[in-house]
Structure 1
Amino acid sequence: MKKINEFSIWLLHWIEVIMAIILILVVVIQCFDIIAQLPSFFFNKVPLSDVLSYVFNFIITIEFVRMLLIHSMESVTEVLIFAIARSIIVGHPEAIALFFEICCIFLLLSARKYLLFENELEKENEEDQ
């Protein structure tokens, strides 16, 4: 039974790595596509919300890949914060939805500051350096 559990964990880890690699390849391909479309953004007067949507999608995807590879609460909260921020900026929510989204960001930032263990934050800082 222990070998099955170890194999399952190993297999799931490599599936996550493969998914991260696929997402990185998609982001790189999409970057080339956006660079090719850059003149049309300027000359066709594409709305800023469309450009922001592209940018936030890239940021969220990159943070999601980081979350797949690092497995920390810090990376999970960052992905959630970026996803909610994208919804606020690009989605143009109604007043009540905007209020709840801002409350969610506040709660996530508070949780990140006050509830994450100090040793986890120190460990992540050491990994970044």
Structure 2
Amino acid sequence: MVKATGQCNISVISQDATFDLFKHFGFQSGRDVDKFADYPAANYQTSENGIPYITVGTNAYFSLKVKQTVDLGSHTLFICELVAMEVLSDTASATYEYYQSNIKPKPEAVGTTPKGETIWRCRICGYEWVEAHDFILKMPSFLEKIVAAILLVGVAYSCIQLGIHVASLTELAFDEYIEDILITAFNAVIVIEFIRMLIKHSMNTIIEVLIFAIARGLVVGHEAPLETLIRIVCIAILLACRKYLFYEKDFEEEM
């Protein structure tokens, strides 16, 4: 229909929406049925372009005119021009996370297996499955903590070595002595950040590990000017990504 008419309306679903709205418009195709044929007339209106827009469970709508179509193989991308819009309510929009947490029906327990495992049924499609044992679900986290503990031992050893380097006399030349200390210090910091990444899964720890790993080669490496420049550019890109391309929740640490 969009390709044929060259125009469309988009309704912005709000947090007031019920699952029935998602089910009616999302679980059937407009190629097979007229979705507005049996939809309550009080729940939608028609805009100036002659296309309906939903008024219940939404907070705004946009009227769009198709300017370009792009065939992406499995679907078509419509690039549109905004013709008209209207705010219908002050209710916040329903994000995918909100839908999963507050609107989508939760699975229901319908029984147990002879082994005592819970049998769950999807309230949408009726599919049933057996929940895995808790220890299987927690196994990756457990293994990560074991790896972190092993690395922590390595960090402790590196710190001891660093202390020995700093406190003891050495036959190394001064520049080699300083470089040895820097290498040991950077290795310790990188491993500490890597341990944090294993235990507290967050974008922040991943970015920091990458920055420290690149900075190590920049400070203690003996590289050509081009390689040094590449490292500097990489650090700048990581810092820019951290500042402009992520939301604050991306840096929240999971326990």
TM-score (norm 1): 0.82
Please report how far the alpha carbon of residue 73 of structure 1 lies from its aligned counterpart in structure 2 after TM superposition.
0.8
Q: Quick check: which has more Rg, 1 or 2?
A: 2
Give, as a single letter, the amino acid of the residue that structure 1 aligns with 2:215. A
Code of the residue aligned with 2:157 in structure 1: it is: I
Structure 2: gaps (5+ residues)? 1-129
Task: Pick the structure with more helix per residue.
Answer: 1
CA offset at residue 90 of structure 1?
A: 0.8
How many residue pairs match? The answer is 122
Cross-structure match for 2:157: 29
Seen in structure 2, the aligned counterparts of structure 1 residues 113 and 3 have a Cα distance that, compared at 3 Å, is same
2:194 to 59, 64, 68: 64
Tell me how far apart the structure 2 counterparts of residues 34 and 96 of structure 1 sit (CA, whole Å).
31
**2:236 aligned partner:** 106
For the pair 1:120 / 2:250, whether they are aligned, the reply is yes
Structure 1 runs (4+) deviating above 4 angstroms are none
Identity percentage over the alignment? 38
Match of 1:96 in 2: 226
Structure 2 SS opposite 1:40 = coil
Q: Which residue of 1 aligns with 2:132?
A: 3
How far apart, in 1, do the equivalents of 2:192 and 2:207 lie? 14
Cα separation, partners in 2 of 1:120 and 1:88, compared to 1, 3 Å: same
The one-character-per-residue Cα deviations of 1:43-71 (angstroms, maximum 9, x if unpaired) are 64452211111110011011111111111
Gaps of 5+ in 1: none
In structure 1, what is the Cα distance between the partners aligned to 2:242 and 2:233? 14
- For residue 7 of structure 1, report the CA deviation from its aligned partner: 4.3
Please name the residue that 1:19 is paired with: 147
* Amino acid in structure 2 at the alignment position of 1:19: V
2-structure distance, mates of 1:84, 1:108: 10
- Separation (CA, whole Å) in 2 of partners of 1:97 and 1:52: 19
Q: What is the letter of the counterpart of residue 28 of structure 1? A: A
More contact order relative to length (CA 8 Å, sep ≥ 6): 1
RMSD (Å), alpha carbons: 2.1
